[in-house]
Amino acid sequence: MRSEEPRSVRLSEYRPPDYLIDQVDLDVVLDGDKTLVTSVLEIRPNPEGRSNVPLVLDGDEITLAGPPLLDNDELTPEAYVETPQALRIHMPPKRAFSLKITTKLDPAKNTKLMGLYRSGAAYCTQCEAEGFRRITYFIDRPDVLSTYRVRIEAGRKEAPVLLSNGNPVEAGLLPNGRHYAVWDDPWPKPCYLFALVGGDLGVVRDSFVTVSGRHVGLAIYVEHGKEDRASYAMDALKRSMKWDEDVFGREYDLQVFNIVAVSDFNMGAMENKGLNVFNDKYVLASGDTATDGDYAGIEAVIAHEYFHNWTGNRITCRDWFQLCLKEGLTVFRDQEFTADMRSRPVERISDVRGLRAIQFVEDAGPFAHPVRPDTYREINNFYTATVYEKGAEVIRMLQALIGRDAFRLGMEFYFSRHDGRAATIEEFIACFADASATDLSQFLLWYSQAGTPEVAATSSWDEDTGTYTLNLLQTVPKTPGQDIKKPMVIPLAFGLLGMDGEDLPIGGDNAESGLIVLNKAEHSFAFRGLNSRPVLSINRTFSAPVKLTTDLTENDLFFLARYDSDPFNRWQALQTAALRVLIRSVHAVRGGNRPLNDPRLAEAFASAIADPEIDPALLAQLLALPSETDIAREIGNDVDPDAIYAARIGLKRALARFVRGALADLYRGLVNDGPYSPDARAAGRRALRATALDLICAEQDDASAMLAFAHYSAANNMTDRMSGLAVLSGIDRPERDQAFADFYKRHKGDALVLDKWLSLQAVIPEAGTLDRVRRLMKHEAFSMANPNRVRALIGAFAASNPTQFNRADGAGFDFLADIVIDLDPKNPQVAARLLGAFRSWRALEPGRRGRAEFALKRIAATDKLSPDVSDLVIRALA
Ligand code: PHE
Ligand code: ZN
């Protein structure tokens, strides 16, 4: 490692701040490259902090425009020092005082997209986690809460729209074609929730009347000409506001709620108080430009950011270790919202697919960390699937353990006890312990122990007494820095199916409720008085985020796939059966044999297709085989991505051949000539039709190319167009190039749509893809400066093209290393995210593993790495 190792921050070393800032008055003059920010801070010593210590205000890439003023008096040069990372006032008064600071910045040069920067026709800000210090000197930590009054001044032409947090209180004209606006946010907040926008933007307006009758003005600001693409986001916003009132009793608390869509954004969106800033990908949609998946993403992210108003903003985090306090909880809330808006089982299946594909993989590799990490070098690297998605699973388990009513009461305790404050996980969990009169201390292990617990279920049957005994054994694997683990509390929803497929009444051992709580390393549960050996359905609804192995036979699995009353476990049973075949098949392929199949799996597919009770969206999930990542994760080590690909496509072909007729009927029966509507029902039909197309075209022959091309050409919406193009992209025929060319012509100039075009090409599982990606980097549709473009092309290649990123010759790894090294100085956060593609490099077979290590070491040896990238390479190689 050439660059210095970044210093670690530890949870155990938390100390309250020495000073508090009660009020912030900001005056921001936006004027090209000489933006001036003047802040007046009302500061006082914190009675809980140390006394007689210097005041240290964080700063990053900013400079003072002049000496600070303390209570209106200029500080002498001896009284303070400005360093690259701080402004230090050596001996501040031991009473409340005001400090006035002016800093200079140049938003147009800000390529990190943290702090104040330019995106398209707007100035905007991003402050989470530590971006406010790039705007002005401040105590940049979430437990310093202040009220803000913000005055923004800019050219009227350049920036007719001037927004900040809170309520608008004043606006007016100034000489020289300039104007100003003043915003006041009455709710105390940490500086990471500060936001400001100034620019020339179009707007869509609406309103919402809250449960207590208050009128809220809603506005979504977008690029001029794109206003009509914001209507779905607006609709989702209103539904979110209503849902949070109905389900969690949470009312909105300002006169306005503003959303601004920008095209340059490091993440998905940001919950700044009263002024959410969004990646435009999660706002803009029309039937012609967005897929059903995009619509679902918009609905979920709009809801997520809105829900943060209570879980994150009104109640925030004491420190960044508590990130899951707001993120896990808010993901849980947005998942519940989607489940209520759409299909609960389908939402659960897709959340679990995502959890396994990303979080389980993260948890099994070098980047594994607890839901609440206890140390970090760079906080930006902890916006992870573990904090977000596993964090949401932990909340879901809590609800399962104490029951819905106690859970709701616990949430009420949380809102009333901690409103206006910065809280910790312990304080949050105490609310539920009190609400349910339960001791949740063992449950807290879910926050501190990393790694995916493994549960092995075995059973025995005593014919004479009619007793079914279930033995459960849990183990938690080692993870970096955690060799020894304690048994966790694992809530397992379950049922026992009788011979006719019905749920049997279950009595005995604490199991009446259909929930087993496994809280020891090993435990047995007996069920008596049964007439015949039951079939176990366990971890229903995926009640615990664990890896489960059972002694269920394949016939049991097919039985569950057909009869289980829990739709999630019907899906799971088919996935498990398919995975078993696929893993045997991978071994066969590596041994030089042909891929395997299992006629019983094909029968199960056929009977699912024939079952009129299954709704299309669920059937689409049932018919989708485990992904290559699923298979790799299950294999765990010595992974050969080419063999996995061969096994999977082989099985897909065999299944498709078996159910060919039924698929063709299904495909034909689902045509919809009506106008496009993004509703869940219509989306489910399109999803099923796309799945049918994908299976029918598994042969990847001339006929497949023709059918996929016809599907593409007949499409009257982006969803169908993309499902045609996605299938076609895997078929090396002239129709493929023709369709890609056509798509480009249709959507030229529409960057968000072209991202789809870039991604599809990046994930083609063919040897020519790396060269194609290199060529596309020179295409006019691509830009290294825009995070969405980088993720669409390079991110998709690295994260979603297992065979080509993991090429045996290491060229995929070398390519990514070059990109990371090149991008790091400009945008370290985006560079670091790309490195996530190395999250399971040690699980690869030895040849590829060596090449991956070589690439990682080359990055590590680079001069002046950012803390973001160096933290990840240190951990990847540890
Ligand atoms: N807090 C944002 C969210 O999840 C994510 C985010 C983190 C955005 C850091 C920008 C920077 O809602
Ligand atoms: Zn969030």
DSSP secondary structure letters along 288-334: TT--HHHHHHHHHHHHHHHHTTTBTTTBEESSGGGHHHHHHHHHHHH
Atom 1 of ligand 1: nearest residue by CA position:
270
Whether 389 is in the pocket of ligand 1, judged by its Cβ within 6 Å, is no
Mean predicted confidence (pLDDT) in 723-750:
98
Q: Report whether pLDDT(759) > 50.
A: yes
Return d(Cα 405, Cα 399) in angstroms, integer.
9
Beta-carbon contacts of residue 120 (< 8 Å; ≥ 6 apart) = 199, 223, 262, 263, 264
Find the 331 Cα to ligand 2 centroid distance in Å. 7
Instruction: Tell me the CA–centroid distance for residue 327 and ligand 2, in Å.
Output: 5
**Average pLDDT taken over every residue of the chain:** 97
Separation CA 115–CA 126 (nearest Å): 5
Q: Is the pLDDT of residue 511 over 60?
A: no
Domain spanning 748-878: CATH 1.20.58.220? no
Ligand 1 pocket member 267 (CB < 6 A): yes
Query: Which of the ligands is closest to the CA of residue 130?
Result: 1
Identify the pLDDT of residue 870. Answer: 97
754: tokens are 């072209």
**Residue owning the nearest CA to atom 9 of ligand 1:** 128
Residue minimizing CA distance to atom 3 of ligand 1: 270
CA of 254 to the centre of ligand 2 (A): 20
CA distances from residue 813 to 344, 794, 805, 850 in whole angstroms, order as listed: 39, 12, 6, 11
Per-domain boundaries in the chain: 316-448, 454-544, 748-878
> What pLDDT is stored for residue 509 in this prediction?
52
pLDDT over 60 at 658, yes or no: yes
Residue 5: pLDDT above 60? yes
**Residue minimizing CA distance to atom 5 of ligand 1:** 270
Confidence tier at 6 by pLDDT (50, 70, 90): confident
Of 372, 415, 417, 416, give the one whose Cα is nearest residue 394. 372
Strand (E) or helix (H) holding 387: none
Pocket test for ligand 1, best of 383, 388, 788, 868 (most atoms within 8 A of CB): 383
pLDDT digit string, tens, across residues 818-846: 999 999 999 999 999 999 999 999 999 99
pLDDT value at 510 more than 80: no
| Contact assessment for residue 527 and residue 534, using Cβ atoms and an 8 Å cutoff | yes
pLDDT tens by residue, 804-818: 999 999 999 999 999
- How far, in Å, is the centroid of ligand 1 from the Cα of 379? 12
Give pLDDT, residue 508. 56
Q: Which atom of ligand 1 is nearest to the CA of 380?
A: 9
CA distance 858 to 872: 13
3-state secondary structure of 840: coil
> Ligand 1 atom closest to Cα of 269?
8
CB 383 less than 6 A from any atom of ligand 1: yes
From the CA of 327, give the closest atom in ligand 1. Answer: 4
Q: How far is the CA of 128 from the centre of ligand 1 (A)?
A: 7
Residue nearest to atom 7 of ligand 1 (CA): 128
Active site residues: 305
Whether the CB of 271 sits within 6 Å of ligand 1: yes
Q: Global pTM?
A: 0.98
The CA distance from 190 to 512, in Å, is: 46
CB 380 within 8 A of CB 868: yes
Per-residue pLDDT, 507: 66
- Ligand 1 atom with the smallest distance to the CA of 131 is 11
Task: Write the pLDDT tens digit of every residue in 175-222.
Answer: 999 999 999 999 999 999 999 999 999 999 999 999 999 999 999 999
Which ligand has the nearest atom to the CA of 271? Answer: 1
CA distances from 605 to 578, 624, 625, 656 (A): 11, 10, 11, 9
Among the listed residues 631, 665, 635, 666, the one whose alpha carbon sits nearest the alpha carbon of residue 648: 631
Over residues 10-26, the mean pLDDT reads 98
Dump pLDDT digits (tens) for 471-500.
Answer: 999 999 999 999 999 999 999 999 999 999
Q: Which atom of ligand 1 is nearest to the CA of 114?
A: 11
| Digit-coded pLDDT (tens) for 116-139 | 999 999 999 999 999 999 999 999
DSSP 799-816: HH-HHHHT-TTSHHHHHH
Region 533-541: mean pLDDT is 98
Residues of the chain with pLDDT > 70: what percent?
A: 99
Please state, in angstroms and rounded to a whole number, the distance separating the CA atoms of residues 62 and 85. Answer: 9
Confidence of residue 863 (pLDDT cuts 50, 70, 90): very high
pLDDT 10s digits, 240-249: 999 999 999 9
Q: 267: CA distance to ligand 2 center in Å? A: 10
Residue 2 has pLDDT above 80, yes or no: no
Answer whether CATH 2.40.30.10 is correct for domain 316-448: no
What residues are neighbours of ligand 2 (ion), with CB under 5 Å?
Answer: 327, 330
**40 strand-pairing partners:** 25, 100
The number of angstroms, rounded, from the C-alpha of 738 to the middle of its chain's C-alpha atoms is: 34
CB count, 10 Å around CB of 95? 8
First to last CA, the chain: 12
The finding on whether 327 has its CB within 6 A of some atom of ligand 1 is yes
Region of 796 (left: φ > 0; alpha: ψ -120 to 50; beta: rest) is alpha
Mean pLDDT confidence for 416-426: 98
512 has pLDDT over 60: no
- Residue 376's pLDDT is 98
Provide the token pair at 84. 């690259």
State the closest ligand 1 atom to the C-alpha of 129, by its place in the atom list counted from 1.
9
Question: Are the CB atoms for 24 and 149 separated by under 8 Å?
Answer: yes
pLDDT digits (tens, 9 = 90+) for 575-604: 999 999 999 999 999 999 999 999 999 999
d(CA 216, CA 208): 5
Residue 431 has pLDDT above 80, yes or no: yes
Which residue's CA is minimally distant from atom 11 of ligand 1? 128
Average of per-residue pLDDT across 652-681:
95
Q: Regarding the domain delimited by 454-544, which CATH topology (the fold level of the hierarchy) does it fall under?
A: Immunoglobulin-like (2.60.40)
pLDDT at 218: 99
Q: What does the alpha-carbon distance between residue 547 and residue 456 come to, in Å, rounded to a whole number?
A: 8
CA atoms within 13 A on the CB side of 530: 26
The predicted complex's ipTM stands at 0.99
> Averaged over 335-362, what is the pLDDT?
98
